């Protein structure tokens, strides 16, 4: 059995590809790929040109706007919508970009929510539950954030009762680590909720993530498959962030985006009144209700 070498983060795929000698007399391309830790598909795959990369980023921005406005759209509907707007794209390309963005239709479909096969899935605990105070239920989710030169992912933890954003973080990928650090920060600053609700994504079903909640003695709740409204409050947050901040501005770097989101989430928590909260801000509801509970 071949023991594969794994690529160092400091070694690019192009550098690995350059190590492969397609005319080597005794070592096959497959074996050379195994030795340098490069998937054979990556060796044969042609890198995107700069023009193609820019085109993909522009398409992803359009897809994100379409999906944020119509989250029940799947790849077919988004393809049709983009074609009507003059973008001659096929469904396969839309599907590939949606996977890269980490989005899919919220409309109920068979077998659309696939947690990691080795991760435990927990029952949904919020059915018919009255949410009556802060820190009763928290939830989290990840969304795709486009900007001028690329894209990142944003995760946030929100209190259901007050809509208060407790913690958030930006990441270049969708690994579980940034979700865990965001959760740990919320627990460290605000204590713990009775119930923590997520979807069945691999980041949230991972043992590392659920162990943080177990250690804090928090009950774990996970959305059922095809239950589009289970995490509705944080979906509304994403819509607000994108239409009130992301889509109306341009950011030259990830750091600029982070600084802008710091300002926006402070505005969202402390200055932006919500009709559903009696024209109060999330911060006012979160603080006032907690003061009443503990006084």
Per residue in 117-145, pLDDT (tens digit) is 566 889 999 988 999 999 999 999 999 99
Average pLDDT, the chain: 83
**34 pLDDT more than 60:** yes
Burial (0-12, 13-18, 19+ Cβ within 10 Å), 70: middle
> What are the residue ranges spanned by the domains of the chain?
1-47, 50-101, 137-294
* pTM score: 0.72
Q: Given the structure tokens 């994108």, which residue do they identify?
A: 242
- The alpha carbon of residue 81 and the mean position of all alpha carbons in its chain are separated, in whole angstroms, by 23
- Answer for the pair 154, 142: CB distance below 8 angstroms, yes or no: yes
Residue that wins the pLDDT comparison between 103 and 190: 190
pLDDT band at 16 (very low <50, low <70, confident <90, very high): low
Nearest to 179 by CA among 199, 151, 150: 199
Q: Which of 91-95, 104-108, 162-166 has the lowest mean pLDDT?
A: 104-108
137-294 — its CATH code? 3.30.420.10
């Amino acid at each position: 059995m071949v023991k594969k070498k794994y690529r160092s983060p400091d070694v690019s795929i192009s550098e690995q590809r350059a190590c492969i000698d397609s005319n080597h007399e005794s070592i096959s391309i497959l074996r050379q790929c195994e030795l340098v830790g490069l998937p054979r598909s990556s060796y044969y795959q042609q890198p995107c040109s700069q023009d193609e990369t820019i085109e993909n980023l522009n398409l992803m921005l359009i897809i994100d706007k379409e999906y944020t406005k119509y989250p029940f759209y799947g790849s077919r509907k988004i393809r049709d919508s983009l074609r009507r707007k003059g973008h001659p794209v096929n469904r396969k390309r839309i599907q590939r970009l949606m996977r890269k963005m980490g989005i899919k239709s919220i409309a109920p479909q068979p077998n659309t929510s696939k947690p990691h096969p080795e991760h435990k899935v927990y029952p949904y605990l919020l059915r018919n539950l009255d949410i009556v105070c802060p820190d009763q239920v928290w939830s989290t989710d990840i969304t795709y954030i486009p900007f001028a030169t690329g894209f990142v992912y944003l995760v946030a933890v929100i209190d259901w009762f007050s809509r208060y954003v407790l913690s958030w973080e930006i990441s270049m990928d969708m690994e579980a680590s940034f979700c865990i650090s965001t959760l740990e920060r919320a627990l460290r600053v605000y204590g713990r909720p009775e119930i923590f609700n997520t979807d069945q994504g691999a980041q949230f079903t991972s043992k590392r993530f659920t162990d943080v909640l177990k250690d804090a003695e928090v009950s774990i709740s996970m959305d059922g498959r095809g239950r589009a409204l289970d995490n509705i409050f944080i979906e509304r947050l994403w819509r607000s962030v994108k239409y009130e901040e992301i889509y109306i501005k341009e950011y030259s770097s990830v750091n600029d985006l982070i600084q802008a989101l710091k300002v926006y989430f402070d505005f969202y928590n402390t200055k932006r009144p919500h009709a559903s909260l009696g024209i109060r801000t999330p911060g006012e509801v979160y603080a006032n209700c907690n003061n009443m509970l503990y006084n």
